[in-house]
């Protein structure tokens, strides 16, 4: 089955170019991100750009097998996002253990 996309001659290369520009901007955030969660979000965004890039490539080459690759990459990206969320789960100040101040807990005596 063949699907004809209106304007495919210019839409698909434009979409690919926009994905490349986005990848460059996200790489800058990955390298210059001030915190670890910023970098984790940048990695997640890069993998989603990879999924979109593989999907655009599948449409350009008319190969449905590449869509399977995009789906597997999306699943792996989701699992990576869950792992990052579990890694950063306890980074709030209220969740950190308190330092021992030397008090015995017998206040008021």
pTM of the model: 0.72
Q: Tokens 């209106």 label which residue?
A: 6
The residue extents of the domains of the chain are 11-89
Mean pLDDT along residues 9-37? 91
pLDDT of the residue at 81: 87
Residue 98 has pLDDT above 60, yes or no: no
Are 93 and 67 in contact by the 8 Å Cβ rule? The answer is no
Question: In whole numbers, what is the pLDDT of the chain averaged over residues?
Answer: 83
Confidence of residue 49 (pLDDT cuts 50, 70, 90): very high
**Cα-based angle 99, 104, 109 (whole degrees, multiple of 5):** 135
pLDDT of the residue at 105: 54
Confidence of residue 102 (pLDDT cuts 50, 70, 90): low
> Distance between terminal CA atoms of the chain?
84
Distance between CA atoms of residues 55 and 34, nearest Å: 31
Are 36 and 88 in contact by the 8 Å Cβ rule? The answer is yes
Confidence of residue 84 (pLDDT cuts 50, 70, 90): confident
Mean pLDDT along residues 72-84? 90
């Amino acid at each position: 089955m063949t699907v004809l996309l209106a304007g495919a001659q210019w839409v698909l290369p434009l979409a690919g170019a926009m994905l490349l520009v986005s990848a460059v901007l996200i790489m800058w955030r990955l390298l210059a991100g001030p915190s670890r969660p910023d970098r984790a979000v940048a990695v997640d965004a890069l993998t989603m750009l990879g999924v979109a890039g593989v999907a655009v490539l599948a449409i350009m080459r008319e190969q449905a097998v590449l869509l399977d690759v995009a789906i597997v990459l999306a699943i792996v990206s989701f699992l990576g996002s869950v792992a990052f969320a579990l890694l950063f789960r306890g980074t709030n100040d209220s969740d950190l253990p308190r330092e021992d101040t030397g008090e015995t807990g017998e206040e008021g005596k």
